Structure 1
Amino acid sequence: MATDQVANPSSQKSHICTVSGCGASFTRPGKLATHMRTHTGERPFRCDLEGCLKSYTNSHHLKRHRSISHDKVVSTQIMCTFEGCGMVFYHKYNLKRHLNRSHNPDSKPFKCKDCDESFKKKFRLQQHRCSHGSPAPFECHLCPLSYTDYHKFHKHLRNHKTYNCDCGKSFSRWSEICSHRRKECTVKKVNKCIICGKIFSTKANLSQHALVHIEESKREIHKCPYLDCARSYQRRNNLNYHIARFHQKMSDKVQCGESNCGETFKSKKNLKQHIRIVHHGLPEKKRKPRKPRKDKGKSRKCIYSIMSGIENTARLKMLDTAEIDAVEKISPA
């Protein structure tokens, strides 16, 4: 028996974003609240695993992060079946994202309503909408500035962050609190290694030194996900650079997009300087003179000896008697 279907009022997108130029709408107030965090930069859901600083706008993204980054199981590796690819992933979400970005060039769901342009990512559409007169989608709630790029917006939010010293004083910049701790602060926090007792000037140096006491088998190793490639790295940035250069064949050179130019440069910094001077006619920025090294003319320890606290005897044997005496005066045993 046929029945008349009645539209569910809750399915209507009645909850609309109030930020000018956004226009996003949702069926539930909770989804709207989650969406508003993309404008304010708030990320209340933080990973509680020690040493992980990741945070997210909703609990689903945090749950996915834990399953991908911290619950890896080697037996559940998934390989991309696209011909000539061979990349291996630990989770189906990573494989799905890889397929949409790398092997589906026609997948551009975000279309501009004022022209024929379409984009793979929503924030690219938001940036493009600014060329039609729409306001920037990311507005700072603490000052009148706004941004089209989320990463620049998130970087700007750090300008409003305050850094608190152990003595009770607060500073707006990290460089100011570092200078305060070196020169003025009377409360000295000792960064001492609990294993060997070596003392360091900063917490970052202590954390780097702690890697010396970790067994090599227990250290986090970032392996290359491509088949028939046995390269591995201790830092994620080194792995990303390896993939870009040797597997994706990306060149470090960037080309100037100005009309009738086409010059190439080794870095984006050089490209920006070229556009600033040649195409905009602005004067070249003068660099500040480098300060002389504090240990200029003195014998220095190698970085291995500094981080591990173990003297490099092989190097000391190569020094003459006078140099050995200078090293012992600088760093007595």
Structure 2
Amino acid sequence: MCGECGYRAAKKSHLSQHMKTHTGQKPYKCDQCDYSAAQKISLDFHIASRHSGANPHTCGECGYSTHLKSNLNNHMRTHMGVKPYKCDQCDFSSAHKCSLDKHLATHTGEKPYMCGECGYRAAQKSQLSRHMVVHTGQKPHKCDQCDFSAAEKFMLDQHLMKHTGEKPYMCGECGYRAARKYHLSRHMRTHTGQKPYKCDQCDYSAAQKCHLDQHLAKHMGEKPYMCGECGYRTAWKSNLSRHMVVHTGQKPYKCDQCDYSAAQKCHLYQHLAKHAGEKPYMCGECEYRTARKCHLTQHMGTHARENALKS
């Protein structure tokens, strides 16, 4: 058992690895860049994915390529729809075991990984690693087409799709297309109305985990992110980033069809829908369609009130 946070492990080696989350020790150094890792397996993965440049395993369906055969096997499930990993507490199923493990943490509430800087706790080690860049500010993953940089490679991969325009995932209900599979999964809840993330302190439920996390911050009153200009505080780094444009006036998101620019990407997407005429959000009760999710949410309230009156 870890004396810092109570984390328990079946093997001593697992506990030793866990302890590095508290000490910050990263003894495994990359000899080609300034990357370092707490575990050798992480360094091996980094070298193979960042420096070798070799991706011999290719998907015949969409052209996705990877340096690991296991990654390709996992990827193929996105085409086959196979979800062998089942939750024994609800009807959730997943194509990947790691996704099931993350989901199970929503039932147990267990958060064994703790940040030594601010006390933030996480259910997954990867979540803690992502959180740590809040303190370090490190963004090693650079875009070769603009000045964008990211703390994690998956963020860079998402950004690169802006340059390519690739949107391989499509909704069978309304034709909505997305660059990321989880964006499509989130979108599908507009059709199903599913809200799997439940608050354990009130009757609030959410379609997305990030919305539940934001809600829980209201119960805890935590606001760790502060503006150095005016003292504004918030529970979320993204809120602080949005707030900072009040001081800078920066509007980095540009429309390529007119001279409109926006401080936030979501505002640009809303604007682009006017050019495209797209209305991807559809009501399951009637024929109403809209370009904005918030408008659909408002509209659904009319059905909820009608149903309440009928009952």
TM-score range, shorter chain: 0.3 to 0.5
If the length of structure 2 is used for normalisation, what is the TM-score? 0.43
If the length of structure 1 is used for normalisation, what is the TM-score? 0.40
Structure number having the greater helix percentage: 2
Q: Which has the larger radius of gyration?
A: 1
